[in-house]
């Protein structure tokens, strides 16, 4: 579903950044800690300002205080338009809202519960079908 939405947004000439939560958060940490010199200097700006950010597989990353802080900053900046630009974010996860509150700080859970429309998808995993 996220891929289909991304394709439609791209057709409208908008920018889309699609990344898994583990890679997204590791990239931000690496950028901020200057661990990877080959990472584009604009990666953090792109995450905050892209028209549509798709965070895939939230809940599969290993969490620490730094990643929680960065996830909060990303979500909060995009929700409150602190980047002075209207931006949208899609989060896909296998976690339910109770799990989000358990696994993440309350301030992250409350933003997800309060600012996002939550849709549940049911059915067979298409990756298992040939």
Residue 9 has pLDDT above 70, yes or no: yes
Whole-number Cα distances in Å, 20 to 1, 11, 108: 15, 22, 17
36 in a domain, yes or no? yes
What CATH number is attached to the domain comprising 22?
Answer: 3.40.50.300
Domain contains 111: yes
36 to each of 7, 33, 101, how far by Cα in Å?
A: 30, 8, 32
Q: Quote the pTM value.
A: 0.89
Residue 68 exposed, middle or buried by CB count within 10 Å (0-12, 13-18, 19+): middle
Domain count, the chain: 1
User: pLDDT tens digits, residue range 28-39?
Assistant: 998 888 765 555
């Amino acid at each position: 579903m996220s891929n289909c939405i991304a394709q439609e947004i791209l057709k409208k000439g908008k920018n889309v950044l699609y990344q898994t939560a583990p890679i997204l958060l590791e990239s931000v940490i690496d950028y901020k800690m200057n661990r990877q010199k080959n990472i584009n200097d604009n990666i953090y700006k792109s995450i905050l300002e892209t028209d549509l950010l798709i965070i895939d597989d939230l809940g599969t990353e290993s969490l620490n205080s730094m990643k929680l802080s960065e996830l909060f900053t990303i979500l909060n900046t995009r929700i409150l338009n602190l980047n002075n630009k209207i931006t949208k974010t899609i989060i896909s996860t296998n976690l339910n809202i109770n799990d989000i509150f358990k696994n993440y700080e309350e301030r992250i859970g409350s933003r997800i519960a309060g600012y996002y429309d939550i849709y549940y998808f049911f059915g067979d995993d298409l990756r298992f079908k040939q």
